Amino acid sequence: MIDNALAIHQEEFEDLVQDSSADGNDPAEIRLKAFKCLLPKLRDTLRHELFKFHMMMRRMKKDNSYKRIVDTMKSLQADDYQTEEAALAAIENRSYLTNRMIRKIPEEWKAEEEEEEEKEPPSKRPRYF
């Protein structure tokens, strides 16, 4: 999460360094001043990223597919798998669950023509995908 917060502000940091480097000061000092200037924003971003992660984990814990993957992972760990190996194997073993999550093309990926065609009145018969 820290790396993500830093990556979000990387360009802003570089701009601050470039703007300050015209003064001719020590590069290490310039970078430190730019970091200190961005520190409040970095901390806010980190808190926001932590909140997003927390909310995602809450949703994941309620998701049936995730629960099955975790159960598989725990059973593999009981069979002497390392944590990383168990996680990878559990996700691979339960790949049909993840395959079900992505079946249709997302709306934002559709071409404009397809969206116009899709606006036709739907048939009365329900569609099952």
Query: Over 23-35, what HEC string results?
Result: CCCCHHHHHHHHH
pLDDT digits (tens, 9 = 90+) for 87-121: 999 999 999 988 888 888 888 888 766 555 555 55
- Identity of the amino acid at 31: R
Q: Write the single-letter amino acid at 72.
A: T
So what's the pLDDT on residue 128? 46
Can you count the helices (H) and strands (E) in the chain?
7, 0
Question: What integer pLDDT is reported at residue 129 of this predicted model?
Answer: 43
46-64 residue pLDDT tens = 999 999 999 999 999 999 9
Q: Domain residue spans in the chain?
A: 1-56, 63-102
Helix (H/G/I), strand (E/B), else coil: 89: helix
Greater confidence, 28 or 112? 28
Residue type, 114: E
For 105, phi and psi rounded to 5 degrees? -70, 135
Computed on alpha carbons and rounded to an integer, the radius of gyration of the chain in Å comes to 24
pLDDT at 38 over 60: yes
CA distance 98 to 100: 5
| Amino acid occupying residue 54 | H
Longest dimension (CA), the chain: 72
